């Protein structure tokens, strides 16, 4: 059976916990600092977003609020950037960076980025792949059916591919966001530029942690299968 044995703790659980917790700590530290730092333009996240949409020609992109903290995201189905109250209402460097990142996603869709197209193609499969893969692997080991285990590993490979593709998509969105801010004249000080990069770099580390976690789990499943043969 697939279980939490010593090798899983040593090679998967502990490393992924360290990565995940470390990434979250860095994100919290970056946001704590740059949420308290006013951007040079003195504009709220919503005001920055409005100006970026106009200056970058992102016509048709809407802006809405969303509950929660750090719940900001771009919804490609409705072409809307949804902002948490903190980001929408504060005139901070962090707010500026977050809305720029989300508009970077909007630009990816508008320009038909190959990266975002590939990830979007996998989104429907992600609705069932994680649970289905684990069930197939567990049943395969329980019934001693190598073929079932192999199918489960292949299905889990979709999860890994999605996570790996997400990383360059997010990095590209951040780079696009930084360019949008620069082109619109928002990088007026070292704090504006340095703080925006700090926030977006810390956020990117969470996707690195997620990608590494999925890859380590895949390698663990493969190692279990190789021992069974």
- Residue extents of the structural domains in the chain: 6-228
86, 102, 170, 191: the active-site residue: 102
pLDDT-based confidence at 80, cuts 50/70/90? very high
| Statement: residue 34 has pLDDT above 70 | yes
Residues 6+ positions from 96 with CB-CB distance below 8 Å: 39, 41, 43, 45, 48, 181, 186, 192, 196
Mean pLDDT of 80-108: 98
pLDDT-based confidence at 6, cuts 50/70/90? confident
Residues 6+ positions from 197 with CB-CB distance below 8 Å: 178
pLDDT-based confidence at 2, cuts 50/70/90? low
Round the average pLDDT of the chain to a whole number and report it: 94
Pick the more confident residue, 71 or 225: 71
Q: Apex CA 99: angle with CA 64 and CA 188, to 5°?
A: 140
Mean pLDDT of 207-212: 96
Q: Please list the alpha-helical segments (H only) found in the chain.
A: 6-8, 14-34, 45-56, 85-89, 93-110, 114-122, 129-143, 146-183, 190-228
pLDDT-based confidence at 91, cuts 50/70/90? very high
User: Collapsing DSSP states into helix, strand and coil, what is residue 37?
Assistant: coil
Number of other residues whose CB lies within 10 A of the CB of residue 173: 26
Overall residue count recorded for the chain in this entry? 229
Is the distance from CB of 74 to CB of 57 less than 8 angstroms? no
| 64 included as an active-site residue | no
For residue 80, the 8-state DSSP code is E
| Statement: residue 229 has pLDDT above 90 | no
The per-residue pLDDT for range 134-159, each reduced to its tens digit, is 999 999 988 989 999 999 999 999 99
| Statement: residue 23 has pLDDT above 60 | yes
Looking at residue 59, its pLDDT comes to 87
Looking at residue 228, its pLDDT comes to 72
Looking at residue 227, its pLDDT comes to 79
| Statement: residue 4 has pLDDT above 80 | no
Q: What is the pTM of this model?
A: 0.92
Question: Which residue carries 């692997």 as its tokens?
Answer: 137
């Amino acid at each position: 059976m697939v279980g939490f044995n010593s090798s899983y703790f040593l090679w998967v659980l502990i490393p992924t916990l360290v990565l995940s917790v470390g990434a979250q700590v860095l994100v919290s530290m970056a946001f704590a600092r740059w949420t308290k730092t006013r951007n040079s333009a003195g504009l709220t996240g919503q005001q920055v977003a409005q100006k970026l949409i106009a200056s970058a020609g992102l016509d048709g992109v809407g802006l809405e609020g969303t509950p929660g903290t750090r719940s900001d995201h771009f919804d490609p189905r409705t072409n809307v950037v949804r902002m948490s109250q903190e980001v929408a209402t504060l005139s901070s460097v962090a707010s500026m960076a977050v809305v720029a990142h989300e508009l970077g996603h909007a630009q990816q869709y508008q320009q038909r980025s190959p990266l975002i197209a590939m990830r979007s193609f996998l989104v429907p499969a992600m609705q069932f792949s994680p649970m289905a893969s684990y069930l197939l692997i567990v049943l395969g080991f329980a019934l001693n059916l190598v073929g079932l285990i192999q199918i489960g590993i292949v299905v889990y490979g979709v999860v890994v591919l999605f996570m790996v593709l997400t990383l360059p998509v997010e990095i590209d969105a951040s780079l696009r966001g930084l360019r949008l801010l620069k082109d619109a004249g928002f990088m007026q000080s070292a704090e504006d530029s340095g703080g925006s990069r700090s926030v977006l770099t810390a956020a990117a580390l969470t996707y690195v942690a997620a990608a590494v976690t999925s890859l380590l789990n895949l390698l663990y499943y493969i190692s279990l299968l190789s021992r069974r043969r």
